[in-house]
């Protein structure tokens, strides 16, 4: 019984791997045209983060000048 169960699990696992490979292949074909833009997107997120940090620092400096710290 255990051997049959192991064989069933192995069959399901092999089928799952094949399905995963197909899905990854389709996803890869969809994502590949976007790869050149990922570097730009990364820098855009870094810029937004730095702008957010700058606004937070500016607000804290303004609070300190107004005596709210």
Write the pLDDT tens digit of every residue in 18-66. Answer: 666 677 777 777 777 877 877 888 889 999 999 999 999 999 999 999 9
- Please list, in sequence order, all residues whose beta carbon lies within 8 angstroms of the beta carbon of residue 60, skipping any fewer than 6 positions away: 69
Whether the model clears a pTM of 0.85, i.e. scores above it, the answer is no
Alpha-carbon distance 61 to 39, whole Å? 33
pLDDT of residue 15: 61
- Taking 50 as the threshold, does the pLDDT of residue 1 lie above it? no
Q: Coil, strand or helix: which one is 13?
A: helix
At 4 the pLDDT is 54
Residue 68, pLDDT score: 79
Strands (E), 1-69: none
Are 69 and 63 in contact, with CB atoms under 8 Å apart?
yes
């Amino acid at each position: 019984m255990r051997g049959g169960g192991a064989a069933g699990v192995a069959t399901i696992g092999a089928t799952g791997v094949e399905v995963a490979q197909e899905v990854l292949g389709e996803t890869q074909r969809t994502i590949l045209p976007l790869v050149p833009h990922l570097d730009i997107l990364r820098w855009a997120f870094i810029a937004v983060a730095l702008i957010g940090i700058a606004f937070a620092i500016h607000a804290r400096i303004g609070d300190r000048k107004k005596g709210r710290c």
